[in-house]
A and B are shown apart, each in its own frame.
Chain A
């Protein structure tokens, strides 16, 4: 019986040997395939680029009809078929192309795009940004074509966006993404519940520094037992005085001396204040772990929160939560890379018609009718006009976002939005301070491990110290020690070297 078993079982004796051999063979196979694939990919992109340039030269002939596939990040809206049909009438007339706009759920967007790109699937345009479908990674993986030559022929598109933004978005001196022109600066501030501000006659114009908020929160804490004064602590983005840019979300640079340094230890007063606030009970009891704050805000249980300030923000908050807000600004307006790269469109290396894709992009950036059609749908079916460029949307109608398509500033304004909101935003864009490091990108390869470690330590301590969960002096001593051990000096030296080299090159 046992003999029979061993003869029968396929895991015994010589099968183990066969298995080993097979594994080795397969490993080798996989390795060789891997190498071959990298090579062919390189060749492919090269050949694409050449065919492209020959095609653009023979442009003046009548355009062949083409289909353009564009991936965007949103839920498939209602009435999408009719809207696309109407849009394709315009697009067909102007550039003889048909647009296939594919909506991918925001939760699945990164994963699906990764699959599409690694499978070298054919598509033409895709939404990309520094926070979704990560632009820099995709560029270094060769997912997008260089756009400089194509842009030369699309002056109307090129001129919409300020030169400095084109410059800042270049990777190794070349353009790989077209920014969708919209709000590009960052300004941080607070929102407050308007009813409570009115009830206790709080004068927010007097708030000039962090400490000024303490008596306000104390009032709320004492008189409104059900309301949490502040959503979470924050020590390093509000009321900071001079703007010191941060490299790679890790270390700060003093723009006067160009010294690279760790900003956090200089903020001890802030951390002490946060500790005081925590002890006074200004934060939610589960401040460090609270993830889904939305129900609390909807129920009006939170008095204030840090928010990104922009023209029309109060109306937007009102639309989201259903009650009134007041906001104050607590920082300068700064135009930085993360703002400029927050909405881009890339043209895929697998696209067969890159020059037509670029023409489509020019249309969505300049053609008011087309952009508004793709953003708000069809007049009468999805919205009614209540002013020249003002509309009111119908319930359950077509909904999409202009900032994923092109020029936000030619979009209609919604009921409740200020008529001049886009004009204001554009003005703010122009007035904002330009990040002294705008255009600089840190190459972290030489200190990859150190940076990863430092970031982990930083996040760890940020959660604790921003919310005042422990004694700040002790925590900071601990933090400094850990940062030293993780090689902070080496990273500082490397950053300094790269910043200096970048400054020289300018």
Chain B
């Protein structure tokens, strides 16, 4: 390699690095801002405005939240249970479904794939969905109401199907010759060979279960069944509603006004809510890069 080529290489390296450094800064700054606002006292926010480095570090927002931890703990419990059961069962269901659809010897696979695919484009709409869940399945105020709506992700199922298709047909054939049933092939060959895909999809699912709040808005009225994100959402929505009413000078009871969480409390809630996910991410990272490309390889 000539010297000029190396030079050109380093120049482009530097440019690429700068670009990605800037990109990561733009991702990290908002998160950092949330952390520093959560550590700023209300008084400092009024006096100095928001700043990336808080003028005085103040833990009162966290103290306030953790002083009555029962609500948060129960929300954590609900979110943990739904995420755990949800991820496992959705992985099981979508991988089984994907495995069948990936087999060339399955007669109706194209029609079935189309049937699944169709639901990605069209759905029944909000009201029928609501009626189905509350009237026919009577799932109001149950854990199932939080798990079921997210369990069948067709997009993830199709990614898995593509991945299974890329497995060598020969392995499956030889296993069949050795007398393995389809269930055995699925459990002992297909699943172990597709850990990166399963890990990636598991992570996606985990994120969507962790972040979901809309099913809770629709189907949960009992406070003991609030998931974490809905607790956060309802807190923010209530605060917004009160601020809106205040502007329009309509009714606000003094008690209600007193309970509006401060900006720092809201941010502290955010931090508490995203915490665990931030720590889980690095563990999945080694599968992640490999897993991300799986949808791209075909045939």
Contact = CB atoms under 8 A, between A and B. Distances in A.
Interface residues of B, number: 49
- Identify whether the interface residues of B are mostly helix, strand, loop, or mixed: helix
A236 interface: no
A4 B117 CA distance: 20
Interface in B32-83: 42-43, 45-47
Given A75-B238, A115-B126, A294 B243 contact: yes
A403 interface: yes
B127 A115 contact: yes
Interface stretch (B3-11, B188-196, B216-224, B280-288): B216-224
Contacts of A306: 249
Given A104-B221, A320-B254, 13 more contacts: A4-B299, A19-B118, A107-B240, A115-B126, A119-B131, A119-B135, A131-B245, A292-B243, A294-B260, A295-B46, A299-B43, A307-B249, A320-B258
A298 B248 contact: no
B262 A108 contact: no
B93 to A, nearest CB: 21
Contacts of A120: 131
A119 B254 CA distance: 34
B255 interface: yes
Given A108-B234, A292-B243, A342 B42 contact: no
Given A292-B243, A298-B42, A105 B234 contact: yes
B246 interface: yes
Interface in A81-114: 102, 104-108, 111-112
A307 B240 CA distance: 19
B292 interface: no
A194 interface: no
Interface in A1-23: 1, 4-5, 8, 10, 15, 18-19, 22-23
Nearest to B68: A396
A301 B47 CA distance: 9
A269 interface: no
Interface of B: 42-43, 45-47, 110, 113-114, 117-118, 122, 126-127, 130-131, 134-135, 217-218, 221, 223, 234, 236-243, 245-251, 253-260, 262-263, 298-299
Nearest to B234: A105
B237 A105 contact: yes
Contacts of A172: none
Nearest to B216: A108
Contacts of A18: 114
25 contacts: A4-B299, A10-B110, A10-B113, A22-B118, A102-B221, A106-B256, A107-B237, A107-B240, A107-B241, A108-B217, A108-B234, A111-B217, A112-B217, A115-B127, A115-B130, A119-B131, A291-B247, A292-B263, A294-B243, A295-B262, A316-B254, A319-B254, A320-B254, A342-B251, A399-B255
A207 interface: no
A74 B259 CA distance: 12
Contacts of A291: 243, 247
Interface string A266-297: 00000000000000000000000001111110
Contacts of A112: 217-218
- Give 9 nearest A-B pairs by CB, closest first: A107-B237, A319-B254, A107-B238, A320-B254, A107-B241, A299-B46, A320-B257, A119-B131, A118-B127
A394 B278 CA distance: 40
B295 to A, nearest CB: 14
Contacts of B298: 5
Nearest to A338: B250
Nearest to A11: B117
Nearest to A106: B241
A105 B230 CA distance: 11
Contact of A342 (B46, B130, B250): B250
A97 to B, nearest CB: 21
A403 B251 contact: yes
Contacts of B135: 119, 121
Given A108-B217, A301-B46, A306-B249, A119 B130 contact: yes
B10 to A, nearest CB: 40
A26 interface: yes
A341 to B, nearest CB: 11
Among A10, A26, A111, max chain B CB count under 10 A is at: A10
A291 B126 CA distance: 31
A399 B256 CA distance: 9
A366 interface: no
Nearest to B223: A76
Contacts of A158: none
Given A104-B221, A308-B249, A296 B241 contact: no
A436 B49 CA distance: 47
A440 interface: no
Contacts of A118: 127, 130
Contacts of B246: 293-294
Nearest to B236: A107
A308 B243 CA distance: 15
Interface string A334-374: 00000000110000000000000000000000000000000
A295 B263 contact: yes
A307 B245 CA distance: 12
B251 to A, nearest CB: 7
Contact of B250 (A5, A10, A119, A131): A131
B218 A115 contact: yes
A258 interface: no
Contacts of B263: 292, 295
A383 interface: no
A314 B43 CA distance: 24
A121 B219 CA distance: 13
A20 to B, nearest CB: 12
Interface string A394-414: 000001010100000000000
A291 B260 CA distance: 14
Contact of B134 (A102, A121, A292): A121
